[in-house]
Amino acid sequence: MTTSAFAPIRIETTPDLVEIRRHLHAHPERSFAEHATSAYLADQLRAHGVEVLDLPAPLETGVIGLIEGTAGPGPRVGLRADIDGLRVTERTGLPYASVNEGVMHACGHDLHMTGLLGAAFWLAAHRDRFAGSVKIVFQPAEELGLGARRCIEAGVADDLAAIVGTHNNPNYAPGEVAVGVEPMMAGCVKFRVDLHAQGTHAGYPHKGTGPIEALASMILALQTIVSRNISPFHAVVLSVTEVHGGDVWNVVPAEAGFQGTVRFFDNDDERIVERRFRDEVESTARAYGIAADIDWDVLQRPLVGDPRLSQILADDVPAYARLRPIRPSMAGEDFEEFAKRIPVAFAFVGSNGEPGCADWHSPEFVGLDGAIGPGASFYANAALRLLRELA
């Protein structure tokens, strides 16, 4: 039996989708508190004939939709978008800027949600074009690195043959899509060090074992871990981002500490950095006569799409967008949690491309409406193609 060749479809950036995107941008909500966002997304799906499933425990926010094809039985694939905003005060000056004080879609999740809605609307209106079914997954709390894990605990991925995600990327222009077999987003470690010493009067430092000098020595020593232990051909970053200790100008504190992050693309590199990190902190603490507690939390491993499926989707992109090479990002993405269980594919969708434009998590970040159509097209074509390939 022969089957017809796959013909990718194109979804345009329509005024209706722009209106949806701007509403979502103006009403961001924090991680695991996306109640109004979830209600809005569910209403949009129902209005376009998409079944909205009961939210399985332990999920309390997010939305799960289901679109059954009418061309026969087949596999089920998932399309995922993240929905949470960031604790950032917006400074874009946009007419649709956030109305929720101190919260902003500074990572462009409003674009992700709108792109997935656009794909869902098209798939619901063209059920006769595919066999099998498509699960629409609006995932909470990506910014905490916990939302995908919560979805998996709730069984969202249990019936899926594969799942597809996207992230807008301001380093690409609207109409550009990057997908392929290379690593896309870095693994992410969150570390915290708490130092415990004997506080004393600032005029009598010899009567205590203050932690401030130890803290300073540790932070300086940690900056040599990457340069002296990791191959210069491997991308690894270690950043100390928060330091705390002391409340009064004339007291040597008993407690101090710091926290930060490590980003990596090779799991062996992460293990080397952790070993050297612990060695540096523990040996310095001993030298200063204090105690150190270390919390090393690998939030995500590097995000790499399934090689076969990613290449198939990349081959289709030129029919509806401009395919671009992958430029790996040092940002993390909890979509990687799904890759531990089922095949995944992931794409960068261009969202700005102007020289000097603000990047993710900036209060000046601006994602352009022109990213909506290409994002929706990638989602929809990925679903159609994977349903054929995995049948």
* pTM recorded for the entire structure: 0.93
If we measure between CA atoms, which residue out of 63, 79, 4 comes closest to residue 313? 79
Determine whether the annotation assigns residue 361 to a binding site.
Answer: yes
pLDDT in single tens digits along all 391 residues of the chain: 345 689 999 999 999 999 999 999 999 999 999 999 999 999 999 999 999 999 999 999 999 999 999 999 999 999 999 999 999 999 999 999 999 999 999 999 999 999 999 999 999 999 999 999 999 999 999 999 999 999 999 999 999 999 999 999 999 999 999 999 999 999 999 999 999 999 999 999 999 998 999 999 999 999 999 999 999 999 999 999 999 999 999 999 999 999 999 999 999 999 999 999 999 999 999 999 999 999 999 999 999 999 999 999 999 999 999 999 999 999 999 999 999 999 999 999 999 999 999 999 999 999 999 999 999 999 999 999 999 999 9
* Sequence-separated contacts (24+) of 124-127 with Cβ below 8 Å: 124/48, 124/49, 124/50, 124/67, 125/48, 125/49, 127/67, 127/68, 127/69, 127/70, 127/71
Task: Answer whether 15-185+303-389 and 187-299 agree in fold.
Answer: no
Q: Which CATH architecture has domain 15-185+303-389?
A: 3-Layer(aba) Sandwich (3.40)
- For the domain made up of 187-299, give the CATH fold: Alpha-Beta Plaits (3.30.70)
13/349 Cα distance (integer angstroms): 13
Determine whether the annotation assigns residue 25 to a binding site.
Answer: no
| Cα of 205 vs its chain's centroid, Å | 46
Determine whether the annotation assigns residue 167 to a binding site.
Answer: yes
Rg (CA), the chain: 23
Domain definitions of the chain by residue range: 15-185+303-389, 187-299
